[in-house]
Amino acid sequence: MGVNADGEPVDTEEAIMRATYRALCKHGYANLTMQAIADEFDKTKGVLHYHYDTKEALLVAFLEYLLDAFERNIAVEGHDDPVERLEALIDTLLFGPPERTEFDHWELTTAMLEVRTKAPHNAEFRRQLSRNYETVEATVIAIVEDGIERGVFRDVDPEQVATLLLASINGARIYQVTLERDDVAEITRASLDAIVHEWLRQSDSTDDESR
């Protein structure tokens, strides 16, 4: 995909996805229309309909686009230690990637929440969200399994650990954008840090001597 002199995408489908994101953040799912998306787009509504017959078809493509971007941003390469990899993943899931991306993390969380509310009645949304969950779950499981094999983590059920961590993280993100308080993610991060270091991490002689 190329960009113009202002850094904006010149690929039409990429531009449509960016416009959909802006419109969804501005209007919410319930008030999102093809015209609202076109208003954020430098081409006519007819161009949108040329690529996507209906708003639902566009939103299915948009959800896939968002989830692909999300999965790219949860990479935890560069950390050999399983504890560091798990902590880096938790931080990224809670607060977004350390480097700046094209999306504001909390705006993106709100947009995703809007889409998630429709998933119980939309099989395609559920399929995409399930794929995303399974990808992140597999990442957590792989880190925990590696930590167990290397004697860093206790001999626990990696799938149960993944379920606990992801349920906590997803709940924190939802509360962060829906409550009149901005400390939920930070409090959850501290709680998960305690889980990793006080429960999941294997005690060794150095730890025992320091207590």
Q: Which residues 6+ apart lie within 8 Å of 179 measured at CB?
A: none
Question: Residue 28 CB: number of other CB atoms within 10 A?
Answer: 13
Q: pLDDT band at residue 4, thresholds of 50, 70 and 90?
A: very low
Q: pLDDT band at residue 192, thresholds of 50, 70 and 90?
A: very high
Which CATH architecture describes the domain 67-202?
Orthogonal Bundle (1.10)
pLDDT single digits (tens) 116-168? 888 999 999 999 999 989 999 999 999 999 999 999 999 999 999 999 999 99
Q: What is the CATH number of domain 1-53?
A: 1.10.10
Instruction: Output the average pLDDT for the chain.
Output: 86
| Residue located via tokens 């390469």 | 77
Q: Which residues 6+ apart lie within 8 Å of 41 measured at CB?
A: 15, 16, 19, 47, 48
Amino acid 77: pLDDT: 63
Question: Residue ranges of the domains in the chain?
Answer: 1-53, 67-202
